[in-house]
Amino acid sequence: MIELRTPAELERMRPAGRFVASVLEATRDAAKVGVNLLELDALAHEMIRKAGAESCYIDYHPSFGASPFGKVICTSVNDAVLHGLPHDYTLRDGDLLSLDFAASVDGWVADSAVSVVVGTARPADLKLIRTTELALEAGIAAARVGNRIGDISAAIAEVGHGAGYKINTDFGGHGVGRTMHGDPHVPNDGRARRGLPLKPGLVIAIEPWFLETTKRIFTDPDGWTLRSADGSRGAHSEHTIAVTDGDPIVLTARD
C-alpha cells in the first residue's frame, strides 16, 4: 500500500534522515586502510545506541535473505554491490566500499547509501561512483508532481547507459515511511511517462547501483551479499526523498 505523508509527518521524518546521514558520514570517514568491516558495523551500532534509534537491518529477514541480517549496516566491497554483510575483512588500499544504512528514529525510517574508494583510487572506480551520484541527482530532479515513477527510472537509466553501464533491475528504490521497504518499487531503468503518478507526500528511496561490466549478480554463501557475476566492481548511491508541490526534499542530505 502506498501512503502519502502530510507536511507535519514529513517534518517528523527529518530527524531520521539527519541521523542516517550522520552515520554514513562517520562510517565513510572511518573507512581507512587497515580498518575492519566489523569495526564499521560496531561504530554504526554505537551511534544507534547513543541516539536511541532502532536498526532496520539487524532483525531484517525478507524472502531473499538466508537468515536475519544480524548487523546494522551493509558493507559491500569491490565486486559486492548490495546487501554486503559485515564480516572479518580488513580494508586494503584501493578497495571500493559501498555503505548502505537505514534506521528508525521515533518510528520514522530513513535509508541512504554512499560509495567511496579506500586509499588509492582507480580512475574507473571514481567514474563508476560518480555515475551513480549523477544518476541519483537526475532521479531526484525527476521526482516532481506531474511526473511518474517511470520518469525517475528513465532519468537514472539515461545517466547509467550514457556512461556505458548495463543496469540490473532486480533491486532498486522503494517506498519509505514507518518501515524500510514499502511500495512503490522504483527501478533503475524504465520508460518515461509510465507508472505511478507522483503526488505530494510520497516518500521514496532512490538508489542507483551500477556494475562496471555486467548486470548479472549472484548471492554469496553468506546468504546476503550480492556480487557481480563477472567479478567487476560495483557502486551504490541512495537518498530518501519526499515529493512536494515544489522541489523534492532530500531527507538524508549529507554535508
Please state the residue numbers annotated as binding site for substrate: 83, 181
CA-wise closest residue to 175 among 110, 126, 233, 232: 110
- What residues are designated binding site for a divalent metal cation? 100, 111, 174, 207, 238
Establish whether the linkage from the previous residue to 68 is cis, with ω within 30° of 0: no
Q: Which residues pair with 202 in a beta bridge?
A: 4
Q: Give phi and psi for 8, each to the nearest 5.
A: -65, -40
- What residues are designated binding site? 83, 100, 111, 174, 181, 207, 238
For residue 137, what are the contacts with CB-CB under 8 A and spacing of at least 6?
none
Angle at 204 between CA 189 and CA 153, to 5 degrees: 15
215 in helix, strand or coil?
Answer: coil
SS3 content of the chain, % helix, strand, coil (to 5): 30, 25, 45
Strand spans (E) along 94-251 = 96-105, 108-117, 173-175, 182-186, 203-206, 209-211, 217-219, 226-228, 234-236, 239-242, 249-250
